[in-house]
Every structure is written in structure tokens, then in C-alpha cells.
Structure 1
Amino acid sequence: MFIIKKVKSLTLIALLMGLTNIAAAETIMRVASWLPPTHVQNAVVWPTWGKWIEEATEGRVKLEIEYGLGHPKTLFELVEDGVADASFSYHGYVPGRFKLALGVEEPLMGTSAEAASVAYWRVHQKYFAAANEHDGLTVAGVFVHGPGQIQTIEPISSLADLKGKKIRIGGGVPAEIGNRLGVTPVGAPAPKVYELLQQGIVDGVFLPIAEQKTLRLNEVARNVVALPGGMYLGSFSIFINPDFLDSLSDKDREAIMSVSGEKLSAMAGKAWDSADREGLKAAEEAGVNIVKVSADDAFAKDFNKLVEGMDQIWLDSVADRGVDAKSALAELRSIAHSYHE
């Protein structure tokens, strides 16, 4: 009887030790996020990537989202410093650092976010990565949000109606568009937009129509002008702390990168496209005044005229990056337009 109990005890101890070793072997990749939990980035993109990572590493690495670590413009540094293992952010929040990245934001791309994101990744790898704008970080993916549109408290009937209006602008290419429109720019991260509109601090915002739902703008920006192809695309990157990657085995590090890159970029762009469709539906159901501008409408023609020469401004701005930016921009548009989803 004593021998049997001893064997059972040893078996239990071995089992517990095995479970402890399994738990110890599991690595958590802490991903910092700054948008609401219901936003597509947190509800779809991170969970999907996390599932891919867990499957690719056979459960050894799992992704967990952490909120409230800081302003999105600080997340590049927070990940580099190891406060978080990974994150994403909008390049326009950090003026001067990500000059090449803003090429994908140039007006008149006229494609889905998925198509533009795939093109963006390929061009980033071929042209932009060598300039090392993400110094201190490992880029896991790049993507864009859907077409930025005009969303205001009061209706507008022409671009001229925006002159002098206080418009929340995140930076990047939209800042140049706002400058040409003669608006008064107000800087703030996207999660603050609802409050700014509700309190009348701003008259409107340039954002994709997805935010009619995810940021509840259908409650405070009751007028939307949807230009064909939008005004711009917003440029983001998903990045990882290199030291975190180095702490993993070669096998797990390679596994994570195998489900990143173009695969991750395409998935993120596609998810944000889906959010645009849901945002449009939510706006329509809420009775938002949506003006869908056709390509031959005077509104669209005025916008096309407004943005003339912006390509050259970007090309001049990246002249010090040592990159064939003109070829990169042409290739970016060519890939995006030929991409089949």
C-alpha cells in the first residue's frame, strides 16, 4: 500500500513539474494598443495575428493586448525601450521621422486598403527599409486605413466651405491637404475626436468612414462628404522590439516572422476595409447626411485640382533618404491597382 501511494505521489509530482515547465515555456508578447477595445485593430487584427503566432509557435508564444501605455506617437519609443513588446502607430504622429512612409498617403491612390497595404509592404521591403526610418524596431507589417473622408458637424457644399474651419488632423499628408484648404488644424489622437466634436472644439475631422461606428462619430459628426477614392490613405506600421525577438528561440522567431510581413499587412488592410463598410452602414442607419461624390462632380474635380503637385512635394521631402522615391511611388500605385483581392 505504501509503495502504491509513493508511486502515485511521484506521478503527481512529475505531472505538476511537467505543467510548471509548460507554463514556464510559454512566452507572452505584450502588444500596446491605443484605440478602443471594440476598434477593428483590437477586435480583429491583433486577435487574428495572435492566433497565427500561437499556431506557428505551437503555443509557445501568445499575444496579449495592453491599453493605456501612452499617446500613439510615443509607442515607437516605448516598444524600442521594452515597455511593450510590440505595437502599431500612425506615422503622421511623428513629423520628420517617417518621411518615406508618407508616400502611400498621397492622394488619388483609388484602391482598397488591402490592395494598398500589400503594395506598401512590397515597396517598403524593396525601397524604404534600407533607409531605416524604423531604427531600433523590427517592422512586422505596414498597412493603411481606408480612404480618409470629410466628416463635419455642419453640412458643407464645397471645399471652399472648409476654409477657416477647425479640423482635427492627425498629421502626415492630411496636414498638407488641410493647409491647401485653408483650415485651422487641431492635433489630437483619434480616440479624442469624439470629445473634440461633442464639445465644439473642432468643426470636423478627416478620417475614414469606419470611425462613424468605431469612434461613434455618427453621434457628433452628422455630415459626411465621401470623395471617390477618398482624400488620402493613412500610413501605419506594426513593429516589435528586437530584444524580445532575440529572447526567443530561432524556431519561434522565424515562426512569428513567417506569419507577419505581407500576410499581416494584407490582413490588417482587409480588416480596416471591412470596418469602413460597417461604418458606412452604421452612419446610414443613424441617419447621417452622407454625400457620395461622383468622379465627374465639381467637388471631386476641385479636390483633384487642389492636390496637384503633392507628389513632387513628397519626392522633394525624401531626397535625403537615398531612395529612388519616384520609382517607389510608381511601383506602389502599379501593384495596388493590379492587386486582386
Structure 2
Amino acid sequence: MKYTIKGLLTGASLLALAPAAFADQLNFAGGWPPNSRPNSVVEDYAAALSENSGGALTMKVFPQSLLSFGEANAGLRDGMADLAVTLTPYFPTEFPNMNMVSEFAELTELPEFSGELSSAAFAGAISEYVMTQCTECKSEAAAQNQVFMGASMTTSYVLQCVVPINSPEELKGKRIRTAGAYWSRWAESVGAVPVSISVSETFEALNQGVLDCTASNTADFMNFSFIDAVKYVYAGLPGGQFTVPTMMNKDRWDGLSAEGKSALMKANAKMAADMTWVYVDIGRNGKTEALERGLEYGPAADSLLEMNRSFIENDITSVAAIYDERFGLKNGAEVSTALRASLGRWTALIADVDSAEALAEVYWNEIYSKIDVNNYGM
């Protein structure tokens, strides 16, 4: 009898430990260094998932070890990781619709949308559009065995220079590091020379005089120490923002329970908000430090801003034509119209947001809580 009772007690103890012992672990392949602030955001994402699921789902973060940004698409597709940031511009043929949508981030530089939190508004607009309207975008992800889980955004790209630029004429012939198609088109349109080099090589190129400027977001000003190389920072041009989408292996998503998917969706709202806010916060700190050091940091000259806005209005049409010619996408005009209307709504929604927590609540209420997890990604 005593052995029977002992066995029952042991079985009861194991059942009590079951949620922790048999928690389902997801693996996140991060492309950021271990001690970086973006990686801290991913760690918080993992903690939020565990809390939201009552410990039934956990997440292990592999910073810059399991998959690099360049390896993320194939690695996620093949199940080497469960979640990762797939930077779709690295994979133009696989994600043409997603990339076209992302290029319309240039809208954030127009007067009615510009501002310090324009990236928070566009992150909401693009996440909502892809998750609820863009069937083609979700089909692209599915073809790569992935599910789109929402996006954050970098801050707007600004001109960071070792030489002064006070007029459109002074841009001619300048060698400017560009991060993608939008920025290369912009440089060519103003008579500058676009230079395609990795962000990690940019600091040395600025220091050695290989570059006159870099078109980079305001957080990279600090993240890659451009603050130690440049003397002038001109906000308002060239504009554009980089989309940072979280993707999940489709097989893994399909295998989660409805409760697990809901817990992950809530964590995704936090991830999108926190990552977007980190770029805003680092950008703020960079401007403060730059001014303390005596660097010139402020809006570009009016003539440059006017030139830039004219370029953007024309480029919106060009984007549609480019993606039609290269990829046969016929809906560019409709996409830009839809995003422009959505961006107006989102600009109002985030106008009074003053923290990452408040931004996550808006994202959750407006997007992620409305997703039918039983059908999403199917």
C-alpha cells in the first residue's frame, strides 16, 4: 500500500510540473549582436510570449549565431529556426509585393505625415495592410514556408555628411552610401553618386574620404559610430525607412494551438512597438549627443526639402512602374493610394503615444487582437 501511495504522490508531483517540463520552445534567430538594444527587444519578446502563454510557450534567442540576416530566409524556410527577422529587400525575387509595399515608406517625408514618430505610424500601416489586405504579400511568405507576424520600422533616413550640403547644387557629384533601391534612385536624381557598401564598412569609408555622406537612419548614426566621423546631419532628406518584419516558419505556426497563436500575436504587438521605439529612442539620444559635441544637426535647407518632396511625389509613381516592369505587379497605384489613406489614420492614432508600452497597446487594439488566428497563415 505504501508503495502505491508513494507512486500516486510522485505522479501528482509530475503533473504539477508538467506545464514547465513540457513547455514548447520556439527558437528565434536574431541578426543583432548579443549586447545590442535590438537584441534586448527580442529577449523581451521571448519573455512576453512565456507570460502570455502561462509558460506553455517559451522562446530561446540566438543572437548572431543561428542565422545571419542574409541567411534568415532560407534558414527559416527550412526550419533551422522558428522565427527570425527576414529583411525582404535582401531577397527581391522572393518578396516583390512586400518590397513594393515597404518602398512606400517614402510617404512619411511628406508634410502631412512627417515627424519624429512617423516610423511608428508606418509600422502600424504596413502591418495592418499586409496582415489584413495584401493577399499577394501573404502568398509570397507562404511560398517561402513563412508567415508574416508584423513589422517594425527604422527611423527615417537622413543625410550624414563630412562636408556641408546647403543647396541642391552642392549634392552634385557627392559620393553617398545608399542602402537600397529607393536611396540609389534619390542619389541619381540629384546628381550624386550612389555607393553600395555594407553599413559596417561605412564608418571607415567616411573617415578615409571615400564617402562624402551616408544616407542612414538616425539610430545607425549611433549604432555604427557615424557620430565620430561626420560633422553635418540633415534631417528631411532623403527620407525613406527600412521595414523590419518578423516572420515565422509556417509549419511551426500551423502546429500551434489557437491559444498559443493568440499568445504569440500579443507578443508580436509588443515586438513591433518595442523595436520601432528603440530606433526612435536611439535617434533622440544621438541628436542630443551630436549637439553637445558641436555638430550641425537639424533640418536641411528649405530648397533641399522642397526638392526632396518633389522627388517623393514623382517617385511614388515610379515605384509602381518599376515593380510592374521588373515583376509584373499591376497594383502599385492602388497600393500607394491605400497606404496613403492608412498612414493618415495611423498618424492620428499614434499622435499622443509617449512610450513603447502605449504604442504596443495601440498596435494590439487596432491590428493584432483582430486577427483570426484559426485562419491566419493558412
Shift of 1:13: 6.7
Q: After superposition, give the CA deviation of every residue in 1:160-185 in whole Å (9 maximum; x if it has no partner).
A: 33333332222142222122133333
Q: After superposition, give the CA deviation of every residue in 1:322-341 in whole Å (9 maximum; x if it has no partner).
A: 64324323323322332233
| Residue of structure 2 equivalent to 1:285 | 292
1:223 is aligned, of 213, 232, 237, to: 232
Q: What residue identity is the alignment partner of 2:294?
A: G
| Residue of structure 2 equivalent to 1:53 | 49
1:80 is aligned, of 77, 95, 98, to: 77
Q: After superposition, give the CA deviation of every residue in 1:216-237 in whole Å (9 maximum; x if it has no partner).
A: 2211233211227x61222221
Gaps of 5+ in 1: none
Q: After superposition, give the CA deviation of every residue in 1:105-135 in whole Å (9 maximum; x if it has no partner).
A: 3442414211221122222234324343323
Q: After superposition, give the CA deviation of every residue in 1:280-326 in whole Å (9 maximum; x if it has no partner).
A: 123223433324336xx222123223334111112223454464324
SS in 1 for 2:148: strand
| Residue of structure 2 equivalent to 1:309 | 314
Alignment map for 1:256-295 (pairs within 5 Å): 256-260=264-268, 264-293=271-300
Counting aligned pairs with the same residue, the percent is: 19
Alignment map for 1:1-341 (pairs within 5 Å): 21=18, 24-44=21-41, 46-66=42-62, 67-69=64-66, 71-96=68-93, 97=96, 98-106=99-107, 107-108=109-110, 109-111=113-115, 112=117, 113-131=119-137, 132-135=139-142, 136-227=145-236, 231-260=239-268, 264-293=271-300, 297-319=302-324, 320-321=328-329, 323=331, 324-339=334-349, 340=351, 341=353
Residue 258 to residue 306, structure 1, CA distance change in 2 (3 Å):
closer
For the 8 Å contact 1:212–1:283, the answer to whether it is kept is: no
For the 8 Å contact 2:146–2:250, the answer to whether it is kept is: yes
For the 8 Å contact 1:93–1:172, the answer to whether it is kept is: no
SS in 1 for 2:345: helix
Distance in 2, Cα, partners of 1:270 & 1:68:
25
Residue 62 to residue 167, structure 1, CA distance change in 2 (3 Å):
farther
Distance in 2, Cα, partners of 1:336 & 1:48:
25
Q: What residue identity is the alignment partner of 2:91?
A: V
Residue 33 to residue 165, structure 1, CA distance change in 2 (3 Å):
farther
Q: After superposition, give the CA deviation of every residue in 1:220-276 in whole Å (9 maximum; x if it has no partner).
A: 233211227x61222221111112223433421332123325x54344323322222
Distance in 2, Cα, partners of 1:315 & 1:309:
11
Distance in 1, Cα, partners of 2:101 & 2:48:
29
Q: What residue identity is the alignment partner of 2:320?
A: L
Distance in 1, Cα, partners of 2:66 & 2:195:
23
For the 8 Å contact 2:131–2:148, the answer to whether it is kept is: no
**Larger RCO (CA within 8 A; separation ≥ 6):** 1
Distance in 2, Cα, partners of 1:284 & 1:15:
64
For the 8 Å contact 1:72–1:189, the answer to whether it is kept is: no
Q: What residue identity is the alignment partner of 2:292?
A: E
For the 8 Å contact 1:32–1:69, the answer to whether it is kept is: yes
Q: Which moved more, 1:60-69 or 1:195-204?
A: 195-204
Residue 213 to residue 243, structure 1, CA distance change in 2 (3 Å):
same
Residue 85 to residue 92, structure 1, CA distance change in 2 (3 Å):
same
Gaps of 5+ in 2: 354-378
